[in-house]
Amino acid sequence: MDLLAVLGLGQTALELGLICSLTTLALFLSYSMLNVCDLSTDGCFTLGAAVGAVVAISGHPLLSIPAAMLAGMCSGFVTAFLQTRMGVDSLLAGIIVNTGLYSINIAIMGGSSLLNMNKTTTVFTMAKSALANTPLAGQYDLLTVIAAVALMLVILVLFLKTKLGLSIQATGDNPDMVRSSSVSPIFTTTVGLCLSNSLTGLSGCLLAQSQKSVNIDIGSGMLTIALASLLIGRTLMGRGGIPIRAVGMLVGSFIFRLVYTIALRFNMPGFMLKLVSSIIVVLAIFLPYLKSRSPEIARQLSVRFPRLFPAKGRETAGKEG
Amino acid sequence: MLKIEHLSKTFNPGTVNEKTAIHDLNLHLLPGDFVTIIGSNGAGKSTLFNAIAGDFMADTGSITLDGRDITFVPSHKRSKNIGRLFQDPMRGSAPHMTIEENLSMASGRGGWLSHITRADRAVFRERLALLGMGLEDRMRQPVGLLSGGQRQALTLLMATFCPPKLLMLDEHTAALDPATAEKVLEITKNTVEQYHITTLMVTHNMHQALELGNRTLMMDGGNIVLDVSGETRAKMTVSDLLAQFRLGSGKDLDNDRILLS
């Protein structure tokens, strides 16, 4: 592999990773902060993509961004309403919304499951024409994505330091404490899910416009992919303040895409993406669990197979005494 | 200050697990009252606190705080006027957030989109220093790193940061070692005195029940069976109290953690 190919791989991974990192940031808000596993993520991602595409095709590329975010926000509101006001279990609320969104998404896309944007003006083509005669012209898509992600990252980090942001963090940490601070956990859960889903919607919108097409399956598996990225990011940069952890989400998304892109390069078929993301999620959750149980397992092994696993510490000490 | 009239609460009505936790309870507290509450297991002490705090809606009766009927006010709105500490020091603060972030939530300063300002930090520092636990130098550390006693002291500060009209302490020193318990109790006494907060305190220490505050209640079977204050209470000993309990409820005080000395 020559240097250019490597750089090319890096750039693809960076671009896709950054677009999907918005979904990772959304999970950072809902999963890490609010302690809610939002299973409507897949549907909401597609919703953002579909709304963004339809608005862009109708000739309003700039409007497609707020429209996609607003659509995501509405979806988040419904998920939150189901779990806080209608007694639906939080996992179930996400699944229900996800299923319902499938019909809504096809309806938004005018009854078809595929929209083509080859000749549509998107935010990316706008960036391309804006940068046409500058040295940065070749990197228009990457620059657009970097701008969007950087803006959202800064807003999210600043937001989490506000009183409302702190209340959302506290809701995941100790809802009793939120209530005794005269804040309603119902309110914080609703705001948190609205914001997180608006990021997911934005993420879908950008992916669709960069690929120049929307498929009804564009969001399937996004939750697991984003969760894998989140767990990678948390492992690498999970200690420290909110800014470091939030940047860790971007790093995790990039690393996930980089590994995947390299695997593709070594002839791994493209359809393996979702299996890979599932395995990463399982490993990222299982390994810390295994580590916490290791003393117990080591002791059992040393009792059952004393020759293979010589006991350390107490077991031998007991026999000698 | 606090007026409870004909309060009743039955859990799981109509099932084999039916339990009347509170039965037609009446209580009237004057402003500045410091009331200690003792009672056997399942007497309804914690249920009474939960009802006042609004964790559930009572079946019958009304609760009035400082002239305002709060019977149907949701718990997070009541907490503006009611501070509360539990036996478990972990319940009052968010472990993954820093001391100053926890205090910022409790202080109620600023609007939804405000950050913690330098002025806020100065106030937090000053109030933390009064606890005498060195927490003022650890304001940016997560609360999860604190010991049980430090967390309970912090919770007390959070509950009284804006002095509430009513403070409810549910055996808040029972899970602490004796020296720390003493310290937290000292801070409690000072805070309550300084702000003249009307206080309800459940304790299993009979001696403490008579020594602290100005009024002692004994609960049994979901009701108040003994209510002493003033001269009578001043002359009372622990054995008097036990004898009175036997008269009031017709049985011996049965609490597996009770401390008689």
Per-residue pLDDT tens over the stretch A103-128 = 999 999 999 999 999 999 999 999 98
**Amino acid found at B140:** R
Report the C-alpha gap between A82 and A74 in whole angstroms: 12
Mutate to test the interface with B, among A181, A189, A194, A239 (most CBs of B within 10 A): A181
B220 is a domain residue: yes
B214 is a domain residue: yes
The count of domains in chain B is 1
**β-pair partners for B229:** B215
CB contact under 8 A, A163 and B113: yes
**Residue A61 — left, alpha, or beta (φ > 0 → left; ψ -120 to 50 → alpha)?**
alpha
The count of domains in chain A is 1
B75 is a domain residue: yes
Smallest CA–CA separation between A40 and chain B, in Å? 26
Longest distance between any two alpha carbons in chain A, whole Å: 84
Chain B residues lying within 8 Å of A181, measured CB to CB: 79, 105-106, 108, 158
Chain B residues lying within 8 Å of A173, measured CB to CB: 94-97
B102 reaches A (C-beta below 8 A):
yes
Closest CA in chain B for residue A163:
B112
A52 is a domain residue: yes
| A298-309: average pLDDT | 86
Whether residue A239 has pLDDT greater than 90: no
CB contact under 8 A, B94 and A177: yes
Categorize the per-residue pLDDT at A191 as very low, low, confident or very high, splitting at 50, 70 and 90.
Answer: very high
Smallest CA–CA separation between A58 and chain B, in Å? 36
Longest distance between any two alpha carbons in chain B, whole Å: 59
Closest CA in chain A for residue B161:
A181
Categorize the per-residue pLDDT at A22 as very low, low, confident or very high, splitting at 50, 70 and 90.
Answer: very high
Report the C-alpha gap between A152 and A164 in whole angstroms: 17
Averaged pLDDT score across all residues of chain B: 91
CB contact under 8 A, A178 and B116: no
B146 is a domain residue: no
Categorize the per-residue pLDDT at A318 as very low, low, confident or very high, splitting at 50, 70 and 90.
Answer: very low
| pLDDT (0 to 100) of residue A200 | 98
A272 is a domain residue: no
B155 is a domain residue: no
Whether residue A40 has pLDDT greater than 70: yes
Q: What is the pLDDT of residues A138-150, one digit of tens each?
A: 788 899 999 999 9
A314 is a domain residue: no
B96 reaches A (C-beta below 8 A):
yes
The stretches in chain B having pLDDT less than 70 are 253-261
Categorize the per-residue pLDDT at A134 as very low, low, confident or very high, splitting at 50, 70 and 90.
Answer: confident
Domain hosting residue A170, numbered range: 15-217
B139 reaches A (C-beta below 8 A):
no
CB contact under 8 A, A164 and B76: no
Closest CA in chain B for residue A182:
B76
- How far out from the chain centre does Cα A38 lie? 10
| pLDDT (0 to 100) of residue A312 | 65
B166 reaches A (C-beta below 8 A):
no
| pLDDT (0 to 100) of residue B249 | 72
Smallest CA–CA separation between A204 and chain B, in Å? 28
Q: How many Cβ pairs closer than 8 A exist between chain A and B?
A: 76
Measure Cα distances from A247 to A149, A181, A239 in Å: 10, 30, 12
Chain A residues lying within 8 Å of B113, measured CB to CB: 162-164
Cα torsion through A133, A138, A144, A145, rounded to 10: -170
Report the C-alpha gap between B226 and B242 in whole angstroms: 11
A177 is a domain residue: yes
Domain hosting residue B222, numbered range: 2-81+164-249
Closest CA in chain A for residue B78:
A182
B169 is a domain residue: yes
Residues with Cβ within 8 Å of residue B243, at least 6 apart in sequence: none
A239 reaches B (C-beta below 8 A):
no
Weakest-pLDDT range from A71-80, A266-275, B26-35: A266-275
Smallest CA–CA separation between A34 and chain B, in Å? 12
Geometric angle at alpha carbon A12, from A11 and A17, rounded to 5°: 100
Site of tokens 């009927």? B69
CB contact under 8 A, B93 and A162: no
B91 reaches A (C-beta below 8 A):
yes
Report the C-alpha gap between B166 and B174 in whole angstroms: 21
B102 is a domain residue: no
A298 reaches B (C-beta below 8 A):
no
Residue of B75, B104, B111 with shortest CB distance to A179: B75
> For position B31, which CATH number holds?
3.40.50.300
Whether residue A274 has pLDDT greater than 50: yes
Mutate to test the interface with B, among A32, A163, A234 (most CBs of B within 10 A): A163
Report the C-alpha gap between A51 and B108 in whole angstroms: 39
| pLDDT (0 to 100) of residue A272 | 82
pTM: 0.89
Whether residue A2 has pLDDT greater than 80: no
A182 reaches B (C-beta below 8 A):
yes
Phi, psi of B198 (to 5 degrees): -65, 125
Q: What b/e sequence results for B6-44 when a residue is b if at least 16 CB atoms lie within 10 Å of its CB, and e otherwise?
A: ebbbbeeeeeeeeebbbeebebebeeebbbbbbbbebbb
A129 reaches B (C-beta below 8 A):
no
**Residue A152 — left, alpha, or beta (φ > 0 → left; ψ -120 to 50 → alpha)?**
alpha
Query: Which of A:82-121 have CB within 8 Å of B?
Result: none
CB contact under 8 A, B79 and A162: no
Residue of B77, B79, B104 with shortest CB distance to A166: B104
| pLDDT (0 to 100) of residue B39 | 87
B143 is a domain residue: no
A23 is a domain residue: yes
